[in-house]
Amino acid sequence: MDKHVQGTPPRVVIVGGGFGGLETAKRLKRSGVQVTLVDKRNYHLFQPLLYQVATGGLSPANIATPLRSILRRQKNCQVIMAEVVDFDVAQQKLYLADGQIDYDFLIVSAGATHSYFGNDAWEPMAPGLKTLQDATEIRRRIYSAFEAAERELDPARREALMTFVVVGGGPTGVELAGALAEIAGHTLKHDFRQINPQDAKILLVEAAEHVLAHYPAELCSRAEAKIRSLGIQVLTQTKVTDVRPEQVHLSGPTGESVIATQNVVWAAGVRGNPLGQKLAQTCQVELDRAGRVPVSASLRVEGQENVFVIGDLANCPGPNGRPLPGLAPVAIQQGRYVANAIASQIAGKAVSEPFSYYDRGSMATIGRAAAVAQIGKRQFCGLLAWIMWLTIHLMLIVQFQNRVLILMQWAWNYITFNRSARLIIEDRTPKTSG
Amino acid sequence: MDKHVQGTPPRVVIVGGGFGGLETAKRLKRSGVQVTLVDKRNYHLFQPLLYQVATGGLSPANIATPLRSILRRQKNCQVIMAEVVDFDVAQQKLYLADGQIDYDFLIVSAGATHSYFGNDAWEPMAPGLKTLQDATEIRRRIYSAFEAAERELDPARREALMTFVVVGGGPTGVELAGALAEIAGHTLKHDFRQINPQDAKILLVEAAEHVLAHYPAELCSRAEAKIRSLGIQVLTQTKVTDVRPEQVHLSGPTGESVIATQNVVWAAGVRGNPLGQKLAQTCQVELDRAGRVPVSASLRVEGQENVFVIGDLANCPGPNGRPLPGLAPVAIQQGRYVANAIASQIAGKAVSEPFSYYDRGSMATIGRAAAVAQIGKRQFCGLLAWIMWLTIHLMLIVQFQNRVLILMQWAWNYITFNRSARLIIEDRTPKTSG
């Protein structure tokens, strides 16, 4: 704080405009600080619905809102679209790809990326789902596979084109597999002449004993039954041992197997944004195994009074001793906490209470009109859970407009089994990109 | 026709699923032929609204509908997503990048691309607007320019970042310039802290004496007045003599000038799809100067009984001797005509009437709530013309869903001056593209 010039408002710099960063910025509205939100993208992404873009149910703009638009009325906040490349906590600076910023308080909420557990070479064959580009790329691959299958004369190659392997049985994997089953079974039903899209094989591969393993055992098995009823093959206790251009190698309870497939989606693991490494270096702390920055009960990095890490990038111990999961509600509550902590610190008040996460429950959809939900000690499954899921997700979406449009799009998709955004859009050719 | 096997339905192959090709396919529903529609994209694009995607008002999926989805119920029609690379009219074949197709009747409706009049090197600096990729790229450039201006300290570079040059005063150029004026004047009004988006300079450059030169003189001058009232600088009788990375060189009535700008959009000229050249070669005809294939009054290529060219790729003389313009209604009416001509030819009926275009009129929007329209001999300008424009464009959009969603999106945008789809989305990095 020694660099802070008396008389000017303290400078709070937030890295990342996800759920945590955005909440922090908003909560600092009336705290007398100058907020700078830095993000390499110009929008806030509603990540829980990213799988809907990847499967053609929603358009990118339905789940992405310009950060400037959200914060336009907050005069003490400026948004900078820039890439952060490093930090220097001794100098209270962060370095951008093309500049630098001084701070009095730093909040790093740079999120997570997918992890291939040391097998980064798999990425081109098995893209993960973290960004809008990932989503439109997966969408392109899914619909291109059906197009290619329609023209393929060799039955084995045709089968490989119509085999979809989703790696990872967490909420994202389950949601993707469910959406794929709906595409194959309903959306594309009448669209092809040479193939029957219902012949598509969808495999959901999970290393643990159950899919949705974070849910109570009973809910898990009901979810699994529902997933199987959609025609999805669920392979639990099964590990991916290799991914090659047209093959996935599996190792499961019945031994080794090789699946011929052209379509693999990776929903298996996440690791902290590489910026965590830079922050850990300057703070002289160690990252955890998932690449997250360990934080204290007040969400500060060890030894730093004015550096906070929140959201998916933070390793923040939960009540059971395990790190809190990478969920939007965790990040939002942490953002709120940090905004209050900064306001208290400026006001010279006593050290605030430690952060504690209030778990309102969690839920995941399984295809059409089915979901599982855990709210406190109560468990829900099926249509009721799905309606709850729909309601809560609509409520959470930042902008009113998107909420209405998404509801209409969903209503339409639900009635017609349609997915209107199933566009195959290639990147522009280098010739025309400036 | 000698290759046609008796007893099997004649094979009609349509190249391109734009307005003309799609109309032909639909009209052949009950004509006893087997239709194959080949397109390198999996969707029909509603090109008249492409400028709305380029300026963030609509999402790509709002104006693109999967071809399979449109034709799913038409059992005599199959859709093939493939790239046509050549034709052989003697063999009645067309060659794909990965295969070949035999035909009895061929309709080529492959459309047009932008023309730099021999200066193709300008393309990276001055992208044209013909595809969804073009539109999202222009959108990325527009909003990135404001982001960069916000962080630019050098006033001259900042001004260059906030200077937008639209080359070409036809409907697309006017619509783009009008949308840019609305973005700068309203949409982004409260979004920035260092710059005032209203300082943006928008130039509309047109080589002819007036913008919208195809409209009657009185309508032209009213449109021009309206455009100027939006703060757009209209430079008529002005030619672009060079485009360089951060400059546009102009030559006009007052001499030469150089505009420092980082944002140039090319809406000046079109030429026929390069496939026209391939077709002309195998048919031994000459393309016109705009790269279009000359067709007879029955839309056939000279010397070919069973090869038709329609839409933007055809040079079809209009009543005044000049080629018909590249408009959706022309292509649609030509598609209808060709479908009838093929049905007649199969039925062995006498040669049908020559094609004649029924001109229902034309219209163009100028920013917010203003348009010009010519319906028969009547002329409209302002709000009434805009309401007509809105109504007709909504009616034309293929799918019911898109119509409702677009109307809602427009209503919302109109009330709030918002543009919700203003996402800056980079292409995926090579690392992650498969």
CA distance B68 to chain A (A): 5
**How many domains, chain A?**
2
Give a yes or no: residue A2 inside a domain: no
Record: contact A434-B125, CB cut-off 8 A: yes
Judge whether A415 is closer than 8 Å to chain B, CB to CB: no
Give a yes or no: residue A327 inside a domain: yes
Task: Indicate whether A254 and A130 sit together in one domain.
Answer: yes
Q: Best of B113, B404, B418, B427 to disrupt the A interface by mutation (most A CBs within 10 Å)?
A: B427
pLDDT of residue B399: 58
Q: What is the pLDDT of residues A172-190, one digit of tens each?
A: 999 999 999 999 998 898 9
| CA separation for the pair B45, B48 (Å, rounded) | 9
Amino acid at A124: P
Work out how many CB contacts closer than 8 A connect A with B: 168
* Last residue in a domain, options A219, A239, A268: A268
| CA separation for the pair B151, B175 (Å, rounded) | 29
Q: Is A167 helix (H, G, I), strand (E, B) or coil?
A: strand
- Give the CATH number for residue B297: 3.50.50.60
In this structure, of A84-88, A421-425, B199-203, the range with the lowest mean pLDDT score is A421-425
Give residue B259's domain range: 120-268
pLDDT of residue B255: 94
DSSP 8-state symbol, A232: E
Mean pLDDT by groups of 10 residues along chain B of 434 residues? 67 97 96 96 92 90 90 94 97 96 98 92 94 94 96 96 96 94 91 95 96 87 92 96 96 95 94 97 96 96 96 94 92 96 89 86 83 87 87 72 70 71 68 32
Chain A positions touching B127 (Cβ under 8 A) are: 432, 434
| CA separation for the pair B277, B86 (Å, rounded) | 9
pLDDT of residue B381: 87
Task: Indicate whether A189 and A167 sit together in one domain.
Answer: yes
Task: Indicate whether A164 and A247 sit together in one domain.
Answer: yes
Ramachandran region, residue A188 (left: φ > 0; alpha: ψ -120 to 50; beta: rest): alpha
Task: Indicate whether A264 and A275 sit together in one domain.
Answer: no
Chain B positions touching A147 (Cβ under 8 A) are: 42, 81
- Phi (first) and psi of residue A43, to 5 degrees: -140, 155
Judge whether A408 is closer than 8 Å to chain B, CB to CB: yes
- Dmax over CA atoms of chain B, in Å, equals 75
Give a yes or no: residue B320 inside a domain: yes
Q: Give the residue with greater pLDDT, A62 vs B123.
A: B123
Task: Indicate whether B88 and B221 sit together in one domain.
Answer: no
Give a yes or no: residue A163 inside a domain: yes
A55 contacts A33 by C-beta, under 8 angstroms: no
DSSP 8-state symbol, B313: G
Q: Give the residue with greater pLDDT, A250 vs A364.
A: A250
| CA separation for the pair B370, B384 (Å, rounded) | 8
Give a yes or no: residue A313 inside a domain: yes
Task: Indicate whether B139 and B249 sit together in one domain.
Answer: yes
Chain A positions touching B433 (Cβ under 8 A) are: 124, 137, 427
Q: Give me B428's structure tokens.
A: 């995926």
Give a yes or no: residue A390 inside a domain: no
pLDDT of residue B427: 66
Task: Indicate whether B125 and B263 sit together in one domain.
Answer: yes
pLDDT tier, A398 (very low <50, low <70, confident <90, very high otherwise)? low
* Last residue in a domain, options B282, B317, B347: B347
pLDDT of residue B193: 94
Give a yes or no: residue A407 inside a domain: no
| CA separation for the pair A370, A381 (Å, rounded) | 7
pLDDT of residue A5: 59
pTM of the model: 0.90
pLDDT of residue B215: 85
Task: Indicate whether A234 and A318 sit together in one domain.
Answer: no
Task: Indicate whether B203 and B324 sit together in one domain.
Answer: no
CA-based nearest residue in chain A for residue B417? A69
pLDDT of residue A432: 32
- Give the CATH number for residue B137: 3.50.50.100
pLDDT of residue B387: 87
**Pair type for strands A163-167 and A247-252:** unpaired
Instruction: Tell whether the model's pLDDT for residue A429 goes beyond 70.
Output: no
Give a yes or no: residue A129 inside a domain: yes
Task: Indicate whether A251 and A312 sit together in one domain.
Answer: no
Judge whether A421 is closer than 8 Å to chain B, CB to CB: yes
| CA separation for the pair B301, B307 (Å, rounded) | 6
pLDDT tier, A2 (very low <50, low <70, confident <90, very high otherwise)? very low
Chain A positions touching B73 (Cβ under 8 A) are: 190
pLDDT of residue B411: 73
Instruction: Tell whether the model's pLDDT for residue A126 goes beyond 70.
Output: yes
| CA separation for the pair B25, B83 (Å, rounded) | 18
- Phi (first) and psi of residue B394, to 5 degrees: -65, -40
Task: Indicate whether A125 and A216 sit together in one domain.
Answer: yes
* Last residue in a domain, options A245, A268, A291: A268
CA distance B328 to chain A (A): 22
Q: Is B18 helix (H, G, I), strand (E, B) or coil?
A: coil
Judge whether B331 is closer than 8 Å to chain A, CB to CB: no
Record: contact A432-B73, CB cut-off 8 A: no
Q: Give the residue with greater pLDDT, B421 vs A227.
A: A227
Q: What does B107-146 look like in DSSP terms, one character per residue? A: EE---EEE--TT-GGGTTTS-B-SSHHHHHHHHHHHHHHH
Task: Indicate whether B140 and B219 sit together in one domain.
Answer: yes
